[in-house]
Chains A and B, each alone.
Chain A
Amino acid sequence: METVLAFVVGGLYAAGIYLMLRRSLVKLLLGLALLSHAANLLIFTVAGFHGDRPPLVPEGSEALAQPHADPLPQALILTAIVISFAVLAFGLALFHRAYREIGTDDLDRMKATDT
C-alpha cells in the first residue's frame, strides 16, 4: 500500500510541476491543485498505515489497543484540504479576472511588472 501511494504521490508531483511549466493560466492552476493534493497524500502516506482499527479505547480497558489508525494525519489533511480548496477557489477567481483584464492567458505575455 505504501509503495503504491509513494508512486501516486511522485506522479502527482511530476504532473503538477509539468502543468505549471506550461505557459497557460489554467494549466498553472491545475498544476497547483495537483501539487496540493500530492502534499496531502504525502502526509497520509508518510504517517504510515497501522491497521484499520479506529483509535477508540475499548470499554473496560485503560489504553488504546495496538495497532490502531493514527487520527492526527487525517486531521492535518482535513485542515490542509480546506485551506487549499479556499486558496484554489480564490486563485480561480483571480486568474479569471487576470485573464479578462490582461486579455491573454499566456504567462509569457505577463511581463509588464517584471523587472
Chain B
Amino acid sequence: MSLLPVLPVLIPLCAAALSLVAGRSRRLQRLLGTAGAFAGLAAALALLAAVDRDGIVVLRMGNWPAPFGIVFVADLLAAILVTVAAVIGSAVAVYSLGSMEPEREAHGYYPLLLVLLMGVNGAFLSGDIFNLYVWFEVMLIASFVLLALGGERHQMEGAVKYVTLNMVSSVLFLAAVGILYGTMGTLNFADLAVKLRSMENPGFPNALAMLFLVAFGIKAAIFPLFFWLPASYHTPPVAVSAVLAGLLTKVGVYALIRVFTLLFVRDTAYTHGLILLLSGLTMVTGVLGAAAQSDFRRILSFHIVSQIGYMIMGLGLFSPLALAGSVFYMVHHILVKANLFLISGIVHRERGSFSLENLGGLYRDRTALAILFLVPAFSLAGVPPLSGFFAKLALVRAGLDLRSYAIVAAALVVGLLTLFSMTKIWAEAFWKPAPAKATAEGFPAGAALYLPAALLAALTIAIGLWPGPLFDLAQRAAGQLTDPAGYIRAVLEGNP
C-alpha cells in the first residue's frame, strides 16, 4: 500500500511542528518554512505521477475497509489541485523570505503557512465528508490567524467579517453533514454516492444539495454570498493575500465539484441549472465590482469573484468538456491570481502604495516589472496565446455544444470587461507619468520577490504555448468525474 496520498499532509505538518520547536530562531523558521513547502511540492508531483500512471490511489487508515474506516482518495482532480497548491505554497514561501516583516515571522508566520497548506491538501484528498469538514476547519483557522497576524486596524476589520462569514458557512456545512448522516447512515463519499443513487425520493437530496450549495458557496464566494471576500482579502500582507486568493476559494469550488459530480446528480436539470445561473451572476457582479474600484488589490479581489463564476460555469454545464474546462480554469486561475497579487506586492514595495492614484510611471522606470504584470493580466482576461484563453475556450465550446448561449455571452462579455479593468491598472500604475506627490517612498524589491513572480509567469506562458498535456490531464480528470463508477469501485472494493 502506498503512503503517497498522505505525504502532502504529513510533510507540512512535520515541518510546521519542527518550526514551532525552532521557536524564535528566525533563520531556522525561514529555512524550515521553505524546505517544507518544497518537500511538499516534491511529494505532490510524485502523487500526481502515481495517479496519472495507476489510476485512483486510495489509502485506508489502519487498513479498515472503506465505508467503516477513514480513507484518503487521490483521483486526478485531487492530485492536480494538490500539485498546483504546492507550487503556490513554494512560490509564496520564497516570496515571504523577501517581504515578510520580522515581527510577523517571530509570531509564527511560517508554521501557519504550512498548516494552511496541510489543511488545503487534506481537503483535496479526504475521502469522506466529515473529514472534509475537519480539513476545512484546519485550513480556516490557519487562514484566520494569517489574516489577523500583525493586528493592524484594517486587518482587524477584514478579519471580523472573514471569520464571521466562514464560521456561519462551517455551521451550515456541519448541519448538512449531520442530516446526511442521519438519513444515509454513512459519510464516505463513495458509499454515499451509491446510496443516494438508489434513494427513492429525489426531493430530499435536492434539499440537502441546497444546504451544501450555500455552505460551499460562501467559501467559494459565489454570487449572493461573496461580500466577505472583497472586504477582507486586501487587508493582510501581500504574501498572505496571494496564498488566500490562490487557494482558499478554490477549495470551496473543489468541494462543490466533488459534491455535485459524485453525490447530487439525480436531478441535474434543477441543481446544475441553478449553479449555471449563479455562475453567470457571479461573473457579472464580480467584474462590475472590479470595474468600480481604484485600488490595485481591491480590483484583484473582485476579479477572484468573477473568475469563480467561470469555474462554477463548467460545473453547471456538466458535460465532460465543461468539467475539463473547469479543472483547467482552476489550475490557470490559481497560478495567475496568486501571481497578480505577488506583483501588486512588488509594486507596493517599489512605490509604497496600492492606490492607483498614487502610482504611475512604472513602465518607464521598471520595464521588466511592467512586462511581468502584463503576462498574468492578459492571461486572466483570456488573451491568446496565454493560459486563460484556452481555459475560456474550453468553457465556451462546451457552452455552445449544449446551446447555453446566454452563459456563453456572459462569459465573453465578462472576459472583455476583465481586459478593461486590467488595462485600467496598466494605464494608471504603469503607463501614466508618475504623480508629482508620491505619498510614501518605496524600496527596490529584491530577487526573492521577482523570482517567484517570474517563475509563475513562465508557467502561465508555458501552459499557453503547450496547453495539450495539461488539457489532456484535465480531460481525463473530467472523465473520472463524470463517470464516478471508477471512484466508487476504487474506494469500496480496493484498487482495480
Q: Do A and B bind each other?
A: yes
B179 adjacent to A87 (CB under 8 Å):
no
**Which residues in B have their C-beta under 8 angstroms from that of A48?**
182
Note all chain B residues with C-beta closer than 8 A to A38: 171, 175
Whether the pair B153, A112 counts as a contact (CB closer than 8 A) is: yes
A94 vs B145: C-alpha distance when bound (angstroms)? 9
Chain A residues contacting B179 (CB-CB under 8 Å) are 42, 46
A32, A42, A45, A110: which contacts B168 (Cβ < 8 A)? A32
Instruction: Decide if B156 touches A43 in the complex (CB within 8 Å).
Output: no
User: In the assembled complex, which residues on chain A have CB atoms less than 8 Å from the CB atom of B141?
Assistant: 86-87, 90
A113/B154 in contact, CB under 8 A: yes
Task: Say yes or no: A113 contacts B231, CB within 8 Å.
Answer: yes
| CB atoms of B157 and A43 under 8 A apart | no
Measured in the bound complex, the distance between the Cα atoms of B376 and A15 in whole Å is 47
In the bound complex, do residue B182 and residue A110 qualify as a contact, i.e. CB atoms below 8 Å apart?
A: no
| Residues of chain B lying within 8 A (CB to CB) of residue A83 | 134, 137
Indicate if the CB atoms of A46 and B183 lie closer than 8 Å: yes
Give the nearest-CB partner of B167 in chain A.
A32
A113 to B181, CA, bound (A): 39
**Within the complex, what minimum Cβ distance (angstroms) separates A30 from chain B?**
12
Chain B residues with CB under 8 A of A101:
151-153, 156
Residues of chain A contacted by B231 (CB below 8 angstroms): 113-115
What residue in chain B is nearest A114 (Cβ atoms)? B231
Residue B234 interfacial (CB < 8 Å): yes
Minimum C-beta distance from A68 to chain B (A): 14
- Residues on A with beta carbons closer than 8 Å to the beta carbon of B151: 97, 101
A81-103 interface code vs B (CB 8 A; 1 in, 0 out):
00100110011001101100110
> Which residues of A approach B to under 8 Å, CB–CB?
20, 25, 28, 32, 35-36, 38-40, 42-43, 45-48, 72-73, 76, 79-80, 83, 86-87, 90-91, 94-95, 97-98, 101-102, 107, 110-115
A-B contact sample (9 more), CB < 8 A, given A87-B170, A113-B232, A115-B289: A42-B179, A43-B174, A43-B182, A79-B134, A83-B134, A87-B140, A90-B163, A107-B160, A115-B293
Q: Which residues of B contact A (CB under 8 A)?
A: 130, 133-134, 137, 140-141, 144-145, 148, 151-154, 156-161, 163-164, 167-168, 170-172, 174-175, 177-179, 181-183, 230-232, 234-235, 289, 292-293, 298, 302
